[in-house]
Amino acid sequence: MRLRLPSVVRLRWAIPVAIVIGLAAGGLAYASIPDSNGVIHGCYQYTVTNGSYGKLRVYDPASANPGCNRFEKRLDWNRNGPTGAIGPTGVSGVTGATGPSGPTGPSGVSSSTIDTGTQTIDCATTSCAAGTNIAAVAGCATGTLTGGGGRAEILPGGLPAKDFVLVSTDSELSAGTWTARAMFINTVATGSYEVVAQAVCAS
């Protein structure tokens, strides 16, 4: 058997359904409020026409009939509002506690001495051909070598020689030695030449 509802009941169900549909359609109409830039567009009535003085409404600028009528004035505002002013600088924080003292560093050098080593060649009795080199070595006690140097010279008087030049100085820390090497750049037949090495030793 088919049950038929009275017409009054059917009408009561039809009215809420129509309201829901109308609200859904209204939601679509206001989909662009605010617009893509976050601005809300509105109109307010500034006349007493129809007793609606001061009435405010918002509208969608993308709708079929955007804007205000001749009895209204436009009023737009930003949903987020303008950026506020920068606040004052806060007070300085309290000074932190003093950190612990670091470890004591190693003791420095109290004094130093220089050890000198020499090597001499007499070109009257020994060949001093171009390319010949001789070396002198200076030394310190193990663990005390801190630096060094060297020089090449002609004797007597220790004058610089244009044919006999210093070519290298280097150290051997494990042995505590500093070596200076000199070489003849031209063949020399007479005279005495000397290379001197110096090592700086901590004490």
* Residue 144 placed within a domain: yes
Domain-located, residue 42: yes
What's the pTM value of the predicted model, to 2 decimals? 0.45
Please give the residue range of the domain that contains residue 18. Answer: 7-78
**What's the half-sphere exposure (Cβ side, CA atoms, 13 Å) at 3?**
3
**CATH code of the domain covering residue 175:** 2.60.40
Are 120 and 194 part of one and the same domain? yes
**3-class DSSP state of 13:** helix
Which of 78, 99, 120 finishes a domain?
78
pLDDT digits (tens, 9 = 90+) for 88-129: 999 988 999 999 999 998 776 678 899 999 999 999 999 999
Closest C-alpha among 186, 194, 201, 112 to residue 150: 194
* pLDDT higher than 80, residue 28: no
Is residue 2 included in any domain, yes or no?
no
Give per-residue pLDDT as tens, 56-82: 889 988 887 778 888 888 888 886 667
- Report the pLDDT value the prediction gives residue 31, as an integer from 0 to 100: 56
What pLDDT shows up at residue 69?
87
pLDDT tens-digit profile of 118-167? 999 999 999 999 999 999 999 998 888 888 888 888 887 777 888 999 99
